[in-house]
Chain A
Amino acid sequence: MERALIRPIVIMGAMYAFLKFVLPNIPGSAEIPASLIILYLLLTLSGIIIFETLSAESKEAFWGPLQRFLTGDNIGRLQPLRYGILVLFPVLVGWQTYHATVPSDRPPAENRVIHPAPPGEYTGLANPVPKTPENIMQGKGFYAAFCSPCHGANFDGKGPAARGYNPPPANFADPTTIAMLQESYLFWRIKKGGVGLPIEGMPWKSAMPRWELELPDEWIWKIIMGEYDGAHQAPRTWE
């Protein structure tokens, strides 16, 4: 096979190996879902096609052998392979179709909305508790008593009970969680818990208790202040 054809195959193989075996093993990383691997591989393939078809010469070097192979134009000993692909292709399609439709006991991939929109009555709320060191300290105390078993003493979602839950409790120290939200959003989530998630948040997979049954609103607001302070984050505001 010509070099122009081998190169793309090597690049695709290397990219797959990187995504499947290298990236997950970097400290702090984890296995990458198939949906993301496919996305990145498609991008790589697009890049290869774009680059290899930039000029008439490179296009011929890249696409010419493929075209000749597919049309059987003077390919000599590769002819049986061509017939092999002719047979293999429908078999692959059939195999894929079978696997996509066969009944399975595996749960489907999740497409859960992590941040459903809050009800209208919670959107305009501001924290009524003054932001004083005492209130923040008190909030941290409430947090330690009610929240830290799951969300962790370090606000990192790694409390002693966290391992029992799927999905795991939120990591507040991650700048992509509570730092993206307004305080009123947290107030709603703490108050209503997992059972208070709207239809949009299906399949309602959250073990978060409905704290309005046990805590007064003032305590919840103080917990929110304590959370932000302890996680070294700031709530989203518009001033």
Chain B
Amino acid sequence: MSHVVDRHGAWLVSLLMVVGCMILPAIGFAADSTAAGPTEYRDIPYIGSRNLIWIVAQLHLLLAGFVLGVPIFAWLCEIIAWKGGEQRYDKLAKEFTKLLTSAYATTALFGGILLFLLIVFYPKLMNYLTDIFFPSFLLYCLLFLFETATLYLYWYGWDAMQEGGKKTLHIFLGFLLNFFAIFIMIVPNAWATFQSSPVVISEGTAIERAWAATWNPTWWPINIHRLIANVVLGGYICGAYAGVRYLAAKTAADREHYDWMGYVGNFIGVFGLLALPFAGYWLMREIYQYNQQMGITLMGGFLSWLFIIQAMLIGVLFLGSNYYFWLGITYRIPGSENQYRKPILWMLISLLLCLAVWMTPHSLVASIEEAQKMGGAHHPLLGVLGVMSAKMTVSNLMILITFMSFVMYWRAGKQDTAPWARLAKAVMGAILALASIAVIILGVWGYFVPAIVRINYFSTSQVAIVIFVILTITPLTALLLKSAKTTTDMVWGRMPPRAGYALVLNAVMVILLMALMGYARSSSRVHWHIYGVMRDTSPYAYSPALGSASLIMVFCTFFFCLLVAFIFWVATMGDKAKGVQGTVKQDLPHGIPAMAGGGPERGEG
């Protein structure tokens, strides 16, 4: 066994040395751009300082999203196990918390690299930001100390804090972990959003200036958007991990476990995804209101094509998540295929229609002849689908459909026994139908009212209607199922391989989406480091062509997937070693948590 570990260690050290050797000359090439006066910029050959910063910042953000999303995910699972008594949730929570220590270190490593690179390449900008934000820099250091200490206590205390009051303390530690994590997210969010929507006051103490700069117009919209996105990222990465392990599982027990884990990951990802478009809409509204130029650059200008790509990626995500639910119905609940085939078909058709609307651009890509036949770049009939009223309507409908997919999955294999079941189902059907009609009416009406009425009242009403549906149908269904009779038991571990691939695809889509929208948000500042305050005077004060930008996004996605795979591999190395060492642990009763550092792998072949 030690031979295996030694071999891994040697391989790792060699890899690090090779990477180090490759990076060193590049740093040596770093050159001052000006000879006299304070240095404003530095650059490196080949890759360029901006691209390097872009890649490192994006990777840091993705890792941070993972590191902040997983504790939420793990803590929720731990609470479910604590309250419901289902120990497999505790095991799942532990399995993911185990990843946190290595993931946390990797995130901090990339954060450190980013900071050094920023100081090296953009000293003028960093001087300015430091001057404004130094009180929050200090707070950030303090938060890191608290977060690190809490994480160590949470992870290493897992087994020691399993019973009685100690478990409550452990749950509280999980809360603290997430509490500090949220602050670790929102403090640097202030630095990033300040660059887009700066609030600068010349008078007052350092803390007053920092606070004014922190509370800028896009700070809270970004905080909420990123918080939800992190949950989505954490859920889908958990799903992808489970998908890969499921595809590689060699025993029935492993297949069951990873099938179930995939379901939980997909569920949490979808749960967050339902709320994400609302948060995104709010963020865009704030940006547009803050500055018309920035809003148009994003939504109507050269970055607007990114939103068509975004629609495609979100479309794949919605289709992938629903597909996974539907596969779950047909494979995990034997005999239910014929019963649900027709509703699934209608849901699929509705989803595709919504997607077709979402993906239809306002200005179409057309040849000269095609444009002449259309009478311009807008199609006379389909052009109306290209604006926000249509997009907002279909995104709400897609959320409703996905929610109903989940409800259908939840109800599958069960027979209602409550005497009021018929009435409840009629009420739920009516709520759903009326809500869908109301969302569509508001969407169509939105074309005939001033923009501010649509944005402030119609769009928010559409969101409120969808939330109302979710908040009424969920408890009604739960009440119905409380007395329902299970006709067909759910069988885990029977999903086809394509279910595993769907989970992996979903995770890749989320990562790509984050890379895409990260670029959009950053590029909307155009040639400003700090919008309207500090101009970018470097040779890189231009927006790259979308094709070039997409190459960097794809590279970031690929590299992040590699990093996550590496983190998973490192974190599970100990398990494999223990699995090989002896079979004694396999005799442990199902559900008993493993020792810190490794879980009892069942029948790892």
Enumerate chain A interface residues (CB-CB to B < 8 A).
23, 26, 28-36, 39-40, 43-44, 46-47, 50-51, 53-57, 59, 106-120, 123-124, 166-168, 174-176, 179-180, 182, 184-185, 200, 234-239
Contact = CB atoms under 8 A, between A and B. Distances in A.
B564 interface: no
8 contacts: A55-B341, A56-B331, A115-B296, A118-B293, A180-B387, A180-B451, A200-B297, A234-B449
A115 B360 contact: no
B381 A43 contact: no
B349 interface: yes
A176 B362 CA distance: 9
Interface of B: 289, 291-294, 296-297, 300-302, 304-305, 315, 319, 323, 326-327, 330-331, 337, 341, 344-345, 348-349, 352, 355-356, 359-360, 362-368, 370-384, 386-387, 447-452, 496, 498, 526, 532
B337 A106 contact: no
Nearest to B336: A55
Nearest to B384: A176
B296 A107 contact: no
A44 B383 CA distance: 20
A119 B293 contact: yes
A33 B364 contact: yes
Chain B interface secondary structure, helix, strand, loop or mixed?
A: helix
A168 B376 CA distance: 6
Contact of B362 (A114, A120, A234): A114
Contacts of B378: 114, 174, 176
Given A31-B373, A47-B352, A180-B387, A239 B452 contact: yes
A120 B377 CA distance: 26
Nearest to B315: A43
A33 B379 CA distance: 9
A50 B505 CA distance: 14
Contacts of A51: 344-345, 348
Contact of A185 (B291, B292, B449): B292
Given A33-B367, A46-B319, A238-B452, A113 B374 contact: no
A55 B338 CA distance: 10
**What 7 pairs between A and B have smallest CB-CB spacing?**
A115-B300, A234-B450, A33-B366, A236-B451, A117-B297, A29-B381, A35-B365
Contact of B370 (A34, A46, A167): A34
B451 A167 contact: no
B501 to A, nearest CB: 11
A33 B374 contact: yes
A26 B381 CA distance: 9
A179 B450 contact: yes
Contact of B376 (A56, A117, A167): A167
Nearest to A182: B292
A19 B359 CA distance: 16
Nearest to A238: B289
Contacts of A36: 360, 364, 379, 382
A114 B363 contact: yes
A54 B337 contact: yes
Given A31-B370, A55-B337, A117-B297, 10 more contacts: A23-B381, A33-B365, A34-B370, A50-B348, A54-B344, A55-B331, A110-B367, A175-B448, A179-B450, A184-B292
Contacts of B383: 174, 176
A180 B300 contact: yes
A119 B301 CA distance: 12
Contact of B348 (A28, A39, A47, A55): A47
A238 B368 CA distance: 37
Contacts of B526: 117
